[in-house]
């Protein structure tokens, strides 16, 4: 710990060599669009080679990789549907071969399938819980041993204010998945804290992405900041939690919501 220095902001060098961190890479699930794309680019600017995971949108994932490499960083696009139980192994093996051990895991990929509770069928329930919660657990479980071995690890789970502070009618499945994610975050954090591995969550409010298209107009009235957040504003919080500056921050859920839940 004593030898670790905060990352040089804006450096695009290989992790470890210039920044006092072990050699390794970052994996951002759902990194092809929205919040995940912003996180992937920001971590690359901090010097992490980045695995940009996507499910179906390869063009967007390749565009994120190009933006990173054009700026002097390293990235690869990795297709995997994280709701597939074998995806964690496939993703990690590919990245371990190409970029080194995954020392930063951002569980960002998420879906919603909204409806009032009587209308949420088993498929909608299972799909949202599988993608948002079970997959994040499987990826975290796969990530921990190499992080412990390298004596450095950062897991950041993208939750939501609807999982912790603000009920939103029509999102019972989504809210349950995100509340579970926060509970998992805190529990795992206590298990690995003494290994220099931190596990935190970020809970965005209303952020301008494809996921929230058309949702915002009425809701904005309720946001003290009177605007939606940007993916970069969420990514900045993730960046902090992955940095050496946040080495003593673990088991927390950082809200980014323009005051909506204040």
Q: For residue 34, how many other CB atoms are within 10 A of its CB?
A: 20
CA dihedral 174, 178, 184, 185 (to 10 degrees): 160
Determine contact, residues 253/164, Cβ cutoff 8 Å: yes
Specify the residue, 22 or 110, whose C-beta has the smaller distance to ligand NAP.
Answer: 110
**Which x/- pattern, by CB under 6 A, does the window 188-227 give for ligand NAP?**
----------------x-xx-xxxx---------------
- Cβ at position 78, least distance to ligand NAP in Å: 10
- Cβ at position 161, least distance to ligand NAP in Å: 7
Please identify, among the stretches 32-40, 88-96, 117-125, 186-194, the one whose residues bind ligand NAP according to the rule CB under 6 A.
32-40
Our finding on whether 148 is near ligand NAP (CB under 6 A) is: no
54 labelled catalytic: no
Tokens at 30, concatenated: 């759902």
Short-list 191, 182, 85, CA closest to 139: 85
Which helix (H) or strand (E) segment holds residue 61: the answer is helix 58-70
DSSP-based three-state secondary structure for 1: coil
Q: Write down the catalytic residue from 48, 54, 152, 174.
A: 174
Our finding on whether 173 is near ligand NAP (CB under 6 A) is: no
- Pick one of 7, 19, 27, 54: the residue that binds ligand NAP (CB under 6 A): 54
Q: What is the largest CA-CA distance in the chain?
A: 55
Determine contact, residues 237/253, Cβ cutoff 8 Å: no
Q: Please report, as ranges, the residues that interact with ligand NAP according to CB under 6 A.
A: 29-30, 32-36, 53-57, 81-83, 108-111, 131, 158, 160, 204, 206-207, 209-212
Catalytic residue positions?
174
């Amino acid at each position: 710990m004593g030898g670790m220095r905060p990352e040089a902001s804006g450096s695009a060098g290989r992790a470890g060599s210039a920044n006092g961190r072990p050699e390794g890479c970052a994996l951002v699930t759902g990194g092809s669009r929205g919040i995940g794309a912003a996180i992937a680019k920001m971590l690359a600017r901090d010097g992490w080679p980045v695995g940009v995971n996507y499910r179906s949108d390869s063009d967007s994932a390749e565009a994120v990789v190009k933006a990173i490499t054009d700026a002097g960083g390293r990235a690869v696009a990795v297709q995997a549907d994280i709701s597939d139980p074998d995806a964690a192994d496939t993703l990690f093996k590919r990245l371990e071969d190409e970029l080194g051990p995954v020392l930063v895991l951002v569980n960002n990929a998420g879906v919603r399938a909204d409806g009032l509770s009587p209308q949420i069928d088993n498929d909608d329930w299972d799909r949202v819980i599988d993608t948002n919660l079970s997959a994040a657990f499987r990826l975290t479980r796969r990530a921990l041993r190499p992080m412990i071995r390298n004596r450095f690890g950062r897991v950041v789970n993208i939750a939501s204010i609807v999982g912790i502070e603000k009920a939103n009618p029509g999102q019972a499945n989504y809210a349950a998945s995100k509340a579970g994610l926060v509970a998992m975050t805190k529990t795992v954090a206590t298990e690995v804290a003494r290994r220099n591995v931190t596990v935190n969550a970020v809970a965005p409010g209303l952020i301008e992405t494809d996921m929230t298209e058309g949702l915002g107009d009425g809701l904005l009235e309720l946001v003290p900041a009177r605007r939606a957040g940007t993916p970069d504003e969420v990514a900045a919080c993730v960046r902090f939690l992955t940095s050496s500056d946040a080495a003593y921050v673990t088991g927390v859920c950082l809200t980014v919501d323009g005051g909506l839940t204040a």
